[in-house]
Amino acid sequence: MKWEKLGRIFNPVEHILPNQCVEFAQSPQTLVFDDFVRIYFSTRQVDPKNGKFLSHIAFVDMDKSFKNILNISGNTVIELGKLGTFDEHGIFPINVLRDKDKILAYTCGWSRRVSVSVETSVGLAISDDNGLTFKKTGDGPILTSSPNEPFLVGDAFVRVYENTYHMWYIFGTRWVDTADEGAARVYKIGHAVSPDGINWQKEEGKQIVSDSLNADECQALPTVIFSKNRYHMFFCYREATGFRKNRQRGYRIGYAYSDDLVNWTRDDEHTGIAFSEDGWDSDMMCYPHVFSCDGKIYLLYNGNEFGRYGFGIAVLKD
């Protein structure tokens, strides 16, 4: 596989964003229209109460050359949750897809904890205005912790294949106590299926993509595309600690493939995209999103500092 980088296409600090958000445009994910592509991302507001971040969803509409910005969301796309709910402190990321006459959004909701920094679960919201705004199906999540997936269920990516909804997502396996970084989380990619997109059956604690670094490898944001009779998954992975500053330990993009949606073969050597020599994606690459548009396959992704300064795009050449 060979990806041609087209460069960074959106830098949040160059624009005015809703919800008093200033930096970060994380986990770009698309909804393709006839004449433009809507790219949702998570951006951040500083919580006036305590200086911590709140992640909000925004979007940018771009033409199909991905060179021109047509519109940026001016209003709230989806509200954060009420007091005590799973998505009270942020929604990051959001996965959007068309489903019959509706547009579904699978969200990853964040709420803060005391002994660890955060807990997450997956929510479902629905749009009836072409994705300008989304209404939640309820105050609670549709996918959350279970006996063998004890915490940090999130990063859902949903596609329908042969009348079955498939969700790839991540679940936490443990919090590692560290001397200088507090409690560090470890998470893996899992899989669930559903007849209706609402009621899900997990594989329950089954890690579907093998580790390449070590047992504490963190795997995030699976994205799947079917092409040439094979299912292709991109995701990002890193070491459990020291990943914020050290490019050797930070996020990069991995790859796995499957012929049956059950067994996945990890094959990072064929990811076909790596850090640049210098510039915005020279130290980190994360939160990939693969999609097709007018016969071409594209990969959106974040660069350095988890997308603080935006996202770029690459096109598949081969």
Partner 1 sequence: MFIWKKRGRVFNPQEIKNVSWLNEFAQAPSVLVFDTFVRVYFSCRPLPDQNGQYVSYSAFVDLNRSNLFEIIRVSKEPILALGERGTFDEFGTYPTSVIRKNKEEVLAYYGGWTRCESVPFNVAIGLAISKNNGETFEKLGSGPVLSYSINEPFILSGPKIRKFNDTYYLFYIAGNKWIENDGKPEPVYKIRMTHSKDGINWTKADKDLISARIEENEAQASPDVFFHNNRYHMFFCYRYALGFRGKEKGYRIGYAVSDDLLNWTRDDSKAGIDVSEEGWDSEMISYPHVFELDGRIYMFYLGNQVGRYGFGLAELEGTL
Options 3, 24, 86, 309; binder of partner 1; rule CB under 8 A: 86
Site size with partner 1, rule: CB under 8 A: 39
Residue 10 burial by CB count (10 A; 0-12/13-18/19+): exposed, middle or buried? buried
Of 83 and 262, nearer to partner 1 (C-beta) is 83
Closest approach of partner 1 to the CB of residue 120, in Å: 11
Helix (H/G/I), strand (E/B), else coil: 270: helix
Closest approach of partner 1 to the CB of residue 190, in Å: 12
Closest approach of partner 1 to the CB of residue 199, in Å: 9
Check binding of 262 to partner 1 (CB under 8 A). Answer: no
Neighbours of 302 (CB within 10 A): 30
Closest approach of partner 1 to the CB of residue 202, in Å: 11
Closest approach of partner 1 to the CB of residue 290, in Å: 29
Closest approach of partner 1 to the CB of residue 111, in Å: 7
Q: Restricting to residues 89-148, name those near partner 1 by CB under 8 A.
A: 89, 111-116, 119, 121, 124, 137-142, 144-148
Options 51, 83, 100, 294; binder of partner 1; rule CB under 8 A: 83
Q: How far apart are CA 149 and CA 171, in angstroms?
A: 6
Closest approach of partner 1 to the CB of residue 237, in Å: 20
Check binding of 190 to partner 1 (CB under 8 A). Answer: no
Closest approach of partner 1 to the CB of residue 219, in Å: 18
Q: How far apart are CA 203 and CA 187, in angstroms?
A: 15
Say if CB 155 and CB 180 are below 8 A apart. no
Check binding of 150 to partner 1 (CB under 8 A). Answer: yes
Structure tokens at 41: 């991302």
Options 28, 93, 172, 222; binder of partner 1; rule CB under 8 A: 172
Of 54 and 221, nearer to partner 1 (C-beta) is 54
Say if CB 203 and CB 169 are below 8 A apart. no
Of 74 and 138, nearer to partner 1 (C-beta) is 138
Amino acid identity, position 77: V
x-or-dash string of contact with partner 1, 200-239, rule CB under 8 A: -----x----------------------------------
Say if CB 159 and CB 174 are below 8 A apart. no
Q: How far apart are CA 251 and CA 120, in angstroms?
A: 20
Say if CB 66 and CB 9 are below 8 A apart. yes
Options 48, 82, 162, 260; binder of partner 1; rule CB under 8 A: 82
Residue 136's Cα: distance from chain center in Å? Answer: 19
Neighbours of 242 (CB within 10 A): 15
Handedness of CA 13, 155, 267, 217 (dihedral sign): positive
Tokens 């890690």 correspond to 207
Nearest by Cα to 127 from 226, 221, 224, 38: 38
**Residues near partner 1, by CB under 8 A:** 81-86, 88-89, 111-116, 119, 121, 124, 137-142, 144-151, 172, 174-175, 177, 183, 185, 198, 205
